[in-house]
Structure 1
Amino acid sequence: MSQEICDNDKIVKLPNELYEKTLREIIYDELKLNNNEYEIKYSEGSSKGDNYNGIVYRVQVIKDNEIKLSLIVKLPPDNPSRREEFLVHKSFIQEADFYDYLYPLYRKFQEKHGICVETDGLYEIPKCYKTLTEEPLEALYFDDLKVHGFQMFDRTKELTREHVLIVMKALAKMHATYFSIKDQNPELVDKYRSIKDFILMQCHREEAAMKIFNEKMKQQALDVLKHSKDEEFVKKIQKVLSVELHKILEEGISIEEPYAILCHGDCWVNNIMYKNDVNGVPIECRLLDHTIMRYASPITDLMYLIFSGTTKVLRDKHYQEFLDVYFENLSEFIKRLNSDPEKLFPRSIFEHHLKKFGKFGLVMAIILVPMFTSSAEDIPEMDDVADEYQLSKEASGSVMNFTSSKTIGVYEKRMLGILQDMVEFGYI
């Protein structure tokens, strides 16, 4: 295994004995090594702005100066305010359920229909070695994808056509699997029909911090209208955004059976890792962070990724291709799972859902694009944000100011393009 050994003297162990005990158990299960037969190197597993509801460590198991095992350990924040404001316990419970129950179900169902998951199925999911769900010592232990050549995409860069298409294909397989299980064995996934949306849960709490945050982001989006001379366009956007953002979100994720499925729910570039070929073109992806899975139209995952992560220039050239590739792969995989795509999600319903739920992409773009167009030093510390909300129930302009004078122009161009496409595509 060729990989640079990390050495961070500041981190000498995981922050609780339970975490260390679980780590040692995984090492023994995987390598059959006793505690005195190896050493462990710890380092930070993510950068500022990469993870909002967890603390990530990289753990390398070394024997004879060679890395034998490399893990990513995701732990909850200690800060009580952050745990409360970001529903940390629920997020860990939900992600653990994905790895302990749902993805094994997906694999078994695909294998039942003759699909080799590792080569031709839904393989775009990282290996999870262990989950801990007892509050407040939750934890998730993952395979370190960097060992296998995967890298995080720089969120300040622009996604390319290839980056989007490879995720469209992965989402198509994930959605097709759920559609087909729901069709053939609905009792296995019926519990997800009642799953509650994370963002709405945060917004509906009394004096909700998320609601305050969303309204600040919405106002920032409205401010870009000063660059448009199209009065009709400006009035239309102002009318759509005259209501609270979570009200628009509610419309965008309303359930329309029998076409609702369990979606990834948080499909933005921070939750995707890519492996590139020698020319830098992505050839594989992995879908991470299944913490806020959402029971809604599959359209919501597409809108989330495309409108939060692409520019208008790219959408002008390839938007229809993104949709077509997704739908073709979805239909084909449903057929391979011995269900009927014309029954489960016909093209007419797909197009109808784009018009009905496309506005979900606007909501998520309003929330996320400020982060995409900000440098790491401009992103506030989540502990500080949560503490301020808890103390004052309102965040000051400074603590939630993602964009700076250096990046505001990039933000305004990106957001204006999103607003224009929402109108052009008939989503608002």
Structure 2
Amino acid sequence: MFKYIFHVIVSEDGSVPKIKSYELVTEELVLQALWNDKGQNAKVLSWEIKEFTSKGDGYMSVVASIVIKYKENGKELDESYVVKLNPLRPASSMTDLAGYMIARESVIFSSVIGNMSKHLRKLGLPPIKTPKIYARSLSKEREAFVTENLRKQGFVMHDRKKGQDLNHAILVLEELGRFHASSLLLEDTIAPKTFVETFDHFQTQVECTIKYLSEIPKYKKCVQWLKANIDSVGHYYLDGNTPKEPFDVLVHGDCWTNNMLFKYNSKNKPEDVRFVDLQCSRKASPASDIAYFIFTSLNGEIRSSYMKELLLSYYQSFTRILILARKKIPFKFKELEGELEKKKIYGLICGIMIVVGALFVEGEDEMYNLEGFSDDKLDEFADEQVKHFQKIAEREGSFKDRFLSLFDDMLTSPVFEIQ
């Protein structure tokens, strides 16, 4: 079948990258993707794998693009797709997790999101705004899946170092409302299983945070709370990921700037959004997604000035779908406000991890290196986190304002009172 097909692997500078995961892109996977997109009259002529993301854009997988030249109805054409691959790292507790997460994400895309979108179409509404999935492999240690390339439609990533403005945030929260509500239309049970529940690295980040805040008198209350609760950080994180009636929906699970793409109009105003990276999607409180997003992706000014407006945008989008479907609305707006207040600790933990660990990295030496990670190197990994935090904290720029704004909520919220 593939007698005349050839492929090459190239990086942006024309060199051949040494990425073992690229071996998982098979001719069968490529053909499956093309046929599911274009139909079985399409004939593959050649294909190549190209680097697609920047360093620091993802830790649990390898993402690349597949550029295919094909023939259909006598015409030679080309198309590109995005492929997510098992990173094939050395054996550790992270190894099986990486493969599991990729396989699970492909199921979320193909089955769960697909069924949610079917329910929306019945109501005359557009589907959930995620990329279409065209092919996948679920074989152990060969996990991979192929989706449409949203860049071709004009979608781009927002600068992760800049907090999203009100227009971006409203788009995100309106789509989150649709996402959460449509999950309630499913009759199928969505397993709440999530990633490994070991959080030693959280404690390292909190220790660094305490040291940093101790030099600023304004945040004395924050330091006291963090010291009193440093051993409970993992518990708070797990609690944030646990569904409790009536707050029980399918959540994105990793809802921050890097996991969404925006499309802009001629005036550079965002007009559409797409959610990507659903590998952490699970059943949880809708406030978990909201807290995760507002603490990781918005600056303090937007959070404090527009929180009511943003939450109303979410709630109106959420309830609209349930009203059209003649389903009971599980909670009132006031109840959602109260639930979000309870999830502020979860949002703070996520904010610390993302702002320090991903938003402000500038070079490869500041990125967490998981390539050689193994269970016997946990202490080395913790030391690396400390050095990473110190380097970013000493740099001039917007990190300080963005990071400290996470704790301004602690100064006024009763959630952070020491019992």
Same fold (TM over 0.5): yes
Tell me whether 1:10 sits opposite 2:24 in the alignment.
no
278, 290, 293: which one aligns with 2:266: 278
**CA drift at 1:317:** 2.0
> What residue number does 1:196 align with?
193
Residue 397 of structure 1 aligns to a residue whose secondary structure is helix
Q: How far apart are the structure 2 equivalents of 1:94 and 1:69?
A: 26
Residue 72 of structure 1 aligns to a residue whose secondary structure is strand
The runs of 5 or more residues in structure 1 that have no matched partner are: 204-210
Residue 185 of structure 2 aligns to a residue whose secondary structure is helix
Q: Which amino acid aligns with 1:54?
A: S
The runs of 5 or more residues in structure 2 that have no matched partner are: 1-10
> What residue number does 1:152 align with?
157
**CA-to-partner distance for each residue in 1:224-274, whole Å, 9 max, x for gaps?**
323432476245433553324212213333432132112111101111011
What TM-score results when the alignment is normalised by the length of structure 2? 0.86
Q: How far apart are the structure 1 equivalents of 2:91 and 2:310?
A: 40
What TM-score results when the alignment is normalised by the length of structure 1? 0.84
> What residue number does 2:7 align with?
none
Change (3 A) 1:396 1:345: closer
Q: How far apart are the structure 2 equivalents of 1:288 and 1:251?
A: 24
Q: How far apart are the structure 1 equivalents of 2:154 and 2:309?
A: 28
> What residue number does 2:145 align with?
140
80, 83, 86: which one aligns with 2:90: 80
> What residue number does 2:65 align with?
58
> What residue number does 2:5 align with?
none
121, 124, 144: which one aligns with 1:115: 124
> What is the percent sequence identity of the aligned residues?
21
Instruction: Give the ranges of 4+ consecutive aligned residues of structure 1 lying more than 6 Å apart after TM superposition.
Output: none
Note the 1:215-364 alignment, pairs <5 A: 215-230=203-218, 233-234=221-222, 236-239=224-227, 241-341=229-329, 344-364=330-350
Conserved 8 A contact 2:203-2:230: no
Q: How far apart are the structure 2 equivalents of 1:314 and 1:25?
A: 44
Change (3 A) 1:212 1:86: farther
Change (3 A) 1:383 1:81: farther
**CA drift at 1:9:** 4.6
> What residue number does 1:101 align with?
111
For these two proteins, the number of residue pairs brought into alignment is 397
Change (3 A) 1:319 1:385: farther
> What residue number does 1:207 align with?
none
**CA drift at 1:11:** 5.5
Q: How far apart are the structure 1 equivalents of 2:217 and 2:110?
A: 53
Q: How far apart are the structure 1 equivalents of 2:407 and 2:261?
A: 28
**CA-to-partner distance for each residue in 1:357-410, whole Å, 9 max, x for gaps?**
2211011011111121221434335334624x4445542523664342553764
Q: How far apart are the structure 2 equivalents of 1:123 and 1:295?
A: 17
Q: CA RMSD in A?
A: 2.8
Q: How far apart are the structure 2 equivalents of 1:427 and 1:92?
A: 35
Conserved 8 A contact 2:158-2:262: yes
Q: Which moved more, 1:297-306 or 1:10-19?
A: 10-19
Conserved 8 A contact 1:156-1:374: no
Q: How far apart are the structure 1 equivalents of 2:257 and 2:76?
A: 32
Q: How far apart are the structure 2 equivalents of 1:146 and 1:400?
A: 36
Change (3 A) 1:133 1:393: farther
Q: Which moved more, 1:320-329 or 1:237-246?
A: 237-246
Conserved 8 A contact 1:212-1:394: no
